[in-house]
Amino acid sequence: MAVKARRAWMGLGLLAIAGAVTLLIAGGLKENVVFFLTPSELEAKGASVYDRPVRLGGQVVPESKTWDAQTRDLRFMVTDGTVEIPVHSVGAPPAMFEEGIGVVVEGRLGSDGVFQSDNVMVKHSNEYKPPHEDKTPAKMFESLVEREE
């Protein structure tokens, strides 16, 4: 084969691969970009984000949490101060989950207006604050230690 023909073949092959990869990347990005939204933004987007993956960030509304240990059914409201969005997920809440704490929930907004989450994450600051004196784990879980005797 002449040098030119070989070059042409290689060039064509490279071009084909580059094209395929570009298509893959574009398709992958289009489908898998996850928007990070506040409750207000989520409400504003409304139907356009039904069934699209979303990360919703906000605070857990006080006294909105219901958690059933047996069915592992977790419901709570997330707010940014203006809008409250009901969240439902199945699974134990993360260890630090408490009312008023900042959370990021991953999931999709259903057409019923309930955010179906498959991952609830507590947003904790990187600044370490020692827990309040009577909220140390040793105090909180005292009864568990005694059980060991």
Partner 1 sequence: MLSAIGTGVTIAALLGAVFVVITGMLGGFRQSESLARLARGGVYFVLVCMTIAMITMETALLTHDFSVDYVSHVGSRETPSYYTAISLWSSLDGSILFWGWILAAYAALVAFVNRHRNERLMPFVNATMMLVGVFFFGLMVGPASPFGLVSPAPANGPGPNPLLQNHPLMGLHPPMLYFGYVGLTVPFAFSIAALLSGKLDDSWIRATRRWTIAPWAFLSVGIVAGAWWSYEVLGWGGYWAWDPVENASFLPWLTATAFLHSVMVQERRGMMKTWNLSLVIGTFLLTLFGTFLTRSGILDSVHAFTEGVIGPIFLAFIAFLAVTSLALIAWRSDRLHAPGSLDGVVSRESAFIMNNLLFAAFTFTVLLGTTFPLVVEAFNGQRISVGPPYFNMVTAPLGLALLFLMGVGPALPWRRTSAENMKRVFWLPVAIGLGVFVIAWVAGIRRVYPLVTFAFAGFVMTTIFEEFRKGVRARQRISGTGPVQALGQLLRRSHRRYGGYIVHAGIVVIVVALSISAAWRFEREATLDVGERLQIGDYGVQLERVWGDQEPQRFVVGSSFSIWDGDRQIGTMEPRMNYYPASEQPIATPAVRSNPREDLYLTLMAFDNQQGAYATVRAIVNPGVPWLWVGGMIIAIGAVLSILPGPKRTRPTNVMTLHEQLEEPEPAPEELEAVPA
Binding residues for partner 1, rule: CB under 8 A, are: 1, 3, 6-7, 9-10, 13-14, 17-18, 21, 24-25, 27-29, 31-36, 53, 55, 69-70, 72, 91-93, 95-96, 122, 124, 126, 128-131, 136-138, 140-145, 147-148
d(CA 113, CA 121): 21
d(CA 54, CA 51): 9
Please check whether residue 108 is in contact with residue 50, taking contact to mean a CB–CB distance below 8 angstroms.
yes
Which tokens belong to 8? 């042409």
Quick one: which H or E segment has residue 15?
A: helix 3-32
Q: Write down the least CB distance from residue 103 to partner 1, Å.
A: 13
9 vs 113 by CB, closer to partner 1: 9
112 vs 142 by CB, closer to partner 1: 142
Q: Write down the least CB distance from residue 111 to partner 1, Å.
A: 22
